[in-house]
């Protein structure tokens, strides 16, 4: 193997190791939990305001902004999540995912998607736009319901909030939920007094409180922050790079929201796209996602309305794809995306039969080994031929030792004469290296593998082996393959090859256990393949 290629591979893996060891916080180990449903997520075709019974708003008392009213909380339960809404502004206070936990074990708590600000701001605050903006954040709303409980038998249900501003404008906010998915439909109806014109538009807001103690918002592994699909591409805005405190998208906005490595909360317009979306950093600890839309005249006259879809759940590629709106684009494996996503789909397909992602990884490794067998066989023959040429190469070095240019010419002539490629032994490693890196990102950033168990002590394939057994076995198997591989006779290169198992073992100590299993199984298959090739060549 060429020394420069070998060093390039080692240094590349070393960079991955250092990033994983020092920039990714270690995961806590815990028993797995059952994942959420991945069925199709339909968008309601009927306007939400028509689903529930109309209420009489005329008798509802108007309240100016900021006046204190007793807060009422409305609880919503579905098989996939539980939510709590507040009558103060008709806002969302909690949204907990029942099938996903912050850590393994009994101490694990359901993932909480909502984090209000210290001054009491929560998602779904509404701003109406007339000559100047009028914020309806703390206007009290009335809700006749105390709770809503959806089961698999009861597919859909809704919660209605009614309110009136100080100038007599009537507001109706309706939220419709489904027991089968993580999608919610939001409809807002606005009815001003006859003496006042209809508002030009409305802004609905997602509020995200930043917690720098728990999250690394500048991490290079796994984006955390506001995102929008606009102008035909995914836009992920690093919080520290928000220009002048805000950034606006006004063309082809298909969705906008906030994401972390595994979860996403996003507004989904029910037409061709939002009029605009604005990402605002109001202070060091608060980010707002403001979605602006023009109001549409109601068929009942004298009122306007707008409606949104809202997704709040896991970044599962099948679930996101079923929603549409380019929501699945939020899963981005960077420069290895073209390899990583097919690998993820193949793993998910194999998992349908194995019901275990560890066995799915092993099955995929075997298939890849079979596919690359002709290349490996050719590589081995090239290395064997190179070893046979060592006496001639040694003689050339003695003869032209002081003339480097002539030595290189004579060595190339020798390679051409015997049809030997000096880099042929590197090909299998170079071909597998992109797959290795793609696997790394899949295992590190796919929620399908988060807390996914294998066997025995390995209960999270996306976390490192807590007992370091698999990395040690991987290093031992790599040492065996190195001893079985033909050498070129270069003592320096031979020492490097023998040192590689030690280097790789230490690097793999903190790698995802699923990735270590892939490399370990690949080495074991390589040993048997080498025995087979040796027999055929002999």
Report domain extents, the chain. 3-33+338-537, 61-315
Angstrom distance (rounded) from CA 270 to CA 283: 31
Q: What's residue 27's pLDDT?
A: 43
- Higher per-residue confidence, 107 vs 303: 107
* Residue in 177, 87, 82 with CA at minimum distance from that of residue 124: 87
Task: Give the least confident one: 20-24, 169-173, 386-390.
Answer: 20-24
- Higher per-residue confidence, 16 vs 158: 158
Does the structure show a pLDDT above 80 at 190?
Answer: yes
Q: What's residue 61's pLDDT?
A: 46
Angle at 29 between CA 24 and CA 33, to 5 degrees: 110
Express each pLDDT in 337-352 by its tens digit. 889 999 999 999 999 9
Q: What's residue 319's pLDDT?
A: 92
**For all residues of the chain together, what is the average pLDDT?**
77
Nearby residues of 441 by Cβ (< 8 Å), 6 or more positions away:
333, 334, 336, 340
Which pLDDT band, with edges at 50, 70 and 90, does 60 fall under?
Answer: very low
* Residue in 187, 152, 176 with CA at minimum distance from that of residue 39: 152
Q: What's residue 449's pLDDT?
A: 86
Nearby residues of 96 by Cβ (< 8 Å), 6 or more positions away:
81, 82, 83, 110, 111, 112, 113
CA 54 from centroid of its chain's CA atoms = 41
DSSP secondary structure of 160-224: EEEEE-TT--EEEEEEEEETTSSEEEEEEEEE--TTSPPPSEEEEEEEEE--TTT--TT-SSS--
Q: What's residue 494's pLDDT?
A: 65
Which pLDDT band, with edges at 50, 70 and 90, does 2 fall under?
Answer: very low
Nearby residues of 425 by Cβ (< 8 Å), 6 or more positions away:
1, 379, 380, 382, 383, 386, 485
Express each pLDDT in 201-244 by its tens digit. 788 888 887 776 566 555 556 678 888 888 888 888 887 777 66
Q: What's residue 164's pLDDT?
A: 86
Q: Which helix (H) or strand (E) holds 477?
A: helix 469-484
Q: What's residue 300's pLDDT?
A: 58
> What pairing do the DSSP bridges indicate for beta strands 263-269 and 183-191?
unpaired
Q: What's residue 231's pLDDT?
A: 83
Task: Give the least confident one: 42-56, 242-256, 270-284.
Answer: 42-56
Does the structure show a pLDDT above 50 at 44?
Answer: no
The residue assigned the tokens 């002048």 is 244
Angstrom distance (rounded) from CA 277 to CA 519: 44
Burial class (CB in 10 A: 0-12, 13-18, 19+), 361: buried
Q: What's residue 470's pLDDT?
A: 93
- Higher per-residue confidence, 324 vs 533: 324
Give the bridge partners for 112, in sequence order.
Answer: 96
Angstrom distance (rounded) from CA 119 to CA 37: 35
Task: Give the least confident one: 17-26, 71-80, 163-172, 294-303.
Answer: 17-26
Mean pLDDT score, 187-194:
82
Express each pLDDT in 87-127 by its tens digit. 888 889 999 999 998 888 788 889 888 877 767 778 888 88
- Higher per-residue confidence, 185 vs 32: 185
Instruction: Print burial letters for 35-72: b (CB count within 10 Å at least 16), e (below 16).
Output: bbbbeebeebeebbbebbeebebeebeebeeeeeeeeb
CATH of 61-315, one of 1.10.1740.10, 2.70.98.90, 3.40.50.2000, 2.60.290.11: 2.70.98.90
What percentage of residues in the chain have a pLDDT greater than 70?
76
* Residue in 128, 123, 23, 117 with CA at minimum distance from that of residue 83: 123
Does the structure show a pLDDT above 70 at 17?
Answer: no
pTM across the whole model: 0.77
> What 3-state DSSP class applies to 66?
coil
Q: What's residue 57's pLDDT?
A: 40
Mean pLDDT score, 488-517:
79
Does the structure show a pLDDT above 50 at 3?
Answer: no
- Higher per-residue confidence, 37 vs 236: 236
> What pairing do the DSSP bridges indicate for beta strands 73-77 and 147-149?
parallel
* Residue in 221, 258, 214 with CA at minimum distance from that of residue 236: 258
Express each pLDDT in 349-373 by its tens digit. 999 999 999 999 999 999 988 888 8
Which pLDDT band, with edges at 50, 70 and 90, does 273 fall under?
Answer: low
- Higher per-residue confidence, 7 vs 459: 459
């Amino acid at each position: 193997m060429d020394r420069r290629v070998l060093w390039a591979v080692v240094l590349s893996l070393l960079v991955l190791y250092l990033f994983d060891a020092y920039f990714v916080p270690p995961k806590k180990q815990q028993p797995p939990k059952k994942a959420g449903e991945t069925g199709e997520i339909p968008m309601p075709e009927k306007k939400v305001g028509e689903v529930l019974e109309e209420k009489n708003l005329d008798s509802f008392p108007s309240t100016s902004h900021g006046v204190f009213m007793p807060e009422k909380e409305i609880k919503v339960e579905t098989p996939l999540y539980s939510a709590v809404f507040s009558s103060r502004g008709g806002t969302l206070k909690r949204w907990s995912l029942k099938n996903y936990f912050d850590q393994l074990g009994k101490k694990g708590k359901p993932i909480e998607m909502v984090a209000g600000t210290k001054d009491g701001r929560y998602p779904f605050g509404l701003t109406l736009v007339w000559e100047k903006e009028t914020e309806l954040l703390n206007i009290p709303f009335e809700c006749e319901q105390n709770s809503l409980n959806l089961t698999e038998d009861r597919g859909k249900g809704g919660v209605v909030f009614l309110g009136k501003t100080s100038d007599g404008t009537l507001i109706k906010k309706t939220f419709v939920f489904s027991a089968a998915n993580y999608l919610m439909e939001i409809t807002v109806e606005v009815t001003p007094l006859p003496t006042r014109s209809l508002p030009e538009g409305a802004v609905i807001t997602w509020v995200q409180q930043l917690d720098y103690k728990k999250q690394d918002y500048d991490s290079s592994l796994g984006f955390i922050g506001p995102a929008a699909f606009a102008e035909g591409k995914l836009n992920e805005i690093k919080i520290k790079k928000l220009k002048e405190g805000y950034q606006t998208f006004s063309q082809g906005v298909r969705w906008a929201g906030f994401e972390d490595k595994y979860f996403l909360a996003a507004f989904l317009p029910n037409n061709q796209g939002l009029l605009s979306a604005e990402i605002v950093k109001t202070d060091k600890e608060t980010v707002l996602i403001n979605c602006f839309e023009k109001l549409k005249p109601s068929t009942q006259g004298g009122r306007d309305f707008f409606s949104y879809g809202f997704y709040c759940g896991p970044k599962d590629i099948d679930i996101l794809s079923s929603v549409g709106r380019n929501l699945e684009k939020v899963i981005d494996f960077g420069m290895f995306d073209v390899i990583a996503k097919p690998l993820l789909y193949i793993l998910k397909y194999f998992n349908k039969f194995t019901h275990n992602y560890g066995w799915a990884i092993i099955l995929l490794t075997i298939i890849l080994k079979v596919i690359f067998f002709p290349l490996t066989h050719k590589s081995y023959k090239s290395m064997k031929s190179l070893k046979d040429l060592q006496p001639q190469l040694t003689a050339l070095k003695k003869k032209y030792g002081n003339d480097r240019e002539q030595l290189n010419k004579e060595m190339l002539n020798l390679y051409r004469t015997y049809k030997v490629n000096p880099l042929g032994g590197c090909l299998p490693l170079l071909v597998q290296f992109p797959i290795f890196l793609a696997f790394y990102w899949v295992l590190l950033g796919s929620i399908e593998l988060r807390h996914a168990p294998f066997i025995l002590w390995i209960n999270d394939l996306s976390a490192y082996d807590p007992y370091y057994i698999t990395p040690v076995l991987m290093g031992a198997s790599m040492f065996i393959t190195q001893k079985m591989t033909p050498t070129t006779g270069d003592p320096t290169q031979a020492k490097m090859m023998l040192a590689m198992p030690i280097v790789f073992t230490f690097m793999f100590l903190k790698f995802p256990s699923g990735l270590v299993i892939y490399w370990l199984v690949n080495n074991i298959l390589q040993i048997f393949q080498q025995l087979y090739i040796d027999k055929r060549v002999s």
